[in-house]
Structure 1
Amino acid sequence: MSAPILIAVDGGGTGSRYAMRRGADVVQVAGGPANVTSDFDGAIANLLSGLGKLGLSDAELAQARICMGLAGVLDDRDAARVAQAIALPRLRVVDDRAIALRGAFLATGYGAVAGIGTGSYVGVLAGGQARFAGGWGLALGDEASGAWLGREALKAALAASEGGLRSGLTETLLADGPAAIMRMAAGASANAFGQLAPDVVIAAQAGDFVAISLLRAGAAYLEASLRRLGWNKATPLVLTGGLGPVYLDYLPAEMQAVLQEPEGSALDGAFLYAAEIA
C-alpha cells in the first residue's frame, strides 16, 4: 500500500505556506495571503494555487488528508464555507491559532503561547483542549500587537500635543503636527499602524518612558489573558511572532522562568490534524 499523502497549510494575512508529506518525500511551497475574512475570494484563489504548486494530480489531491489553518476563520461557519469552496473530501479547516498552538507543543501537548505580530492572541493547550483569547483584530482588540503599539503611540503623541507627557518618541511622531497624525490614521490599516511598532521598540530600548509604558501595558494584557485561560507557573510558555521576544523582559519573573522554544512549527501542528483525518 502506498504511503498516505498529508498536506499542511498555514494561511496568514500576508502569505501562506504549504507542505506535503508522502512517506519520506516532503515538498514545501509558498503562496499569497489567505485571510478568509478580509478577502474570501482572494484567499480561496491563493489556496487553490498553493495546492497546485505541490505537483499532485487531481486524484492524488482527492485522496490527500489536508489540514488548513487559516487567518480569519472565526467559527465553524467560516470553516464550512472554505471547505465548500475548496471541495476536497478529506479537508479540515481550522483557525490558524490552533495549528500554531498545537505545533508549539508538538511532543508534550501541554503549554501556552503568546503570538504577537501585526495582530495578537494567546492560547493554552492542556488535556487535548485548546483555549484562546484575543485575535479579534485591531478594531476590537489585538492588544500588545504591532498594530496596537503603533496606534497607541500615535494616541500618546496626540495627548502630548494637548499638554500630556512628552518624550523623544512623541516628539518624533509630532514632527509634522497632530493634523498629520489624524490624516494618516483616518485610513490606516492594521499593517500601516504596525509599521510604527519597530520605532516604539527602539525607543523603549533607548529608555523612552512613553514607549516603555506602552510595552508594559501590552505585557500586562498578555499576562492577564494567559492567567484567565488557566496559565500557572508549571505551564511552559512560548512567545512567537515578530514581537513575541520583545515582551520577555516585561512579563513577570514566573513567566520568564518557564519560557521555552517551540517544539514545532504551525505546519507541524497542521500535519498532526491532517493525520487524524479518517
Structure 2
Amino acid sequence: MYLVTVHGNLLIILAVSSESHLHTPMYFFLTNLSFVDICFTSTTVPKMLVNIHSQSKGISYIHCFTQVYFFMFFAGIDDFLLTVMAFDRFVAICHPLNYTVIMNPQLCVLLVLMSWIIMFCFSLIHVVLLKQLTFSIVTEIPHFFCEVAQLYKVSSSDTLISIIVMYVSTALVVVFPVTGILYSYSQIVSTLMRMSSVNKYKAFSTCGSHLCVVSLFYGTALGVYLSSAVTRSPQGSTIASVMYTGHPHAEPLHLA
C-alpha cells in the first residue's frame, strides 16, 4: 500500500510537470497535494516497516515527537489543500469568465504558502506542549504510530491544559477548511441546477473524486479525534486511523 501510494503520487507529479497543458491552477494544487501525501505517508510507514523487520515495537522520545510534528504538519496541509481545491472548483464553475483572473499564479502560490506557514505554527505548538509532559521510562502507546491524543492519555503529567489546547486548535484548523468546502460546494450545486445536462456532467466529473477524498479523509480523521475523548478502548480510533493514513498494520508502540 505504501509503494502504491508513493508511486501513484509520483506519477501524478511527473505527468503534470511534463505536460504543458496541465499547468493550470487545478493541477498545480493536485501536484502539491500529491507531494504532501507522499510526505504524510512517509512520516510513519518507514518506522513501522523497520519495527516489523526487527520484531521491535520501540521508538525513542525524539523520534516520537518528530513523528508527531510532521504527521500533524502534513495532515493539516492536506486539509487546507483540499479546501483550496474546492475553492478552485467553485471559481471555475461559478465564475468561469473570471477564472484566469482570480486564480492567478500569485494567488495560487500564496494559498499553498499560507497552508505551510499555518501548519508549521500549529504543529510546533503541540510539540512544545508535549515536551513539557513527563512519561514513564517505558511507556506503551496504544497505537501504531505516535498520535498526539494517545500520548496525552499515557502521560504521567496533568494534561488538562494540553488537551484543551489540542481540541480548540484542532477545531479551528478543521472548522474553517470544512466551512470553506461546504460553502464552495453549496455554490457549485446552486450553479449546477441552472446548467444543461451535458455541462452538469462535465462539472460533476471534476468534483466527484475530490468529494470522495474529502469525505474519506475528514470523516475518519474527525472520528478519531472526536471519539478519543469518550472511548475507553483505542481500537476504534486505530481502525479509523488506518483508513486515513493508509496503513494495513496496527501494533502498539513502546516509547522509551
Instruction: Say whether the fold is shared (TM-score over 0.5).
Output: no
Higher helix share: 2
The two structures have a TM-score, normalised by structure 1, of 0.30
Whose relative contact order is higher, 1 or 2, with alpha carbons under 8 Å and at least 6 apart? 2
TM-score, normalization by structure 2:
0.32
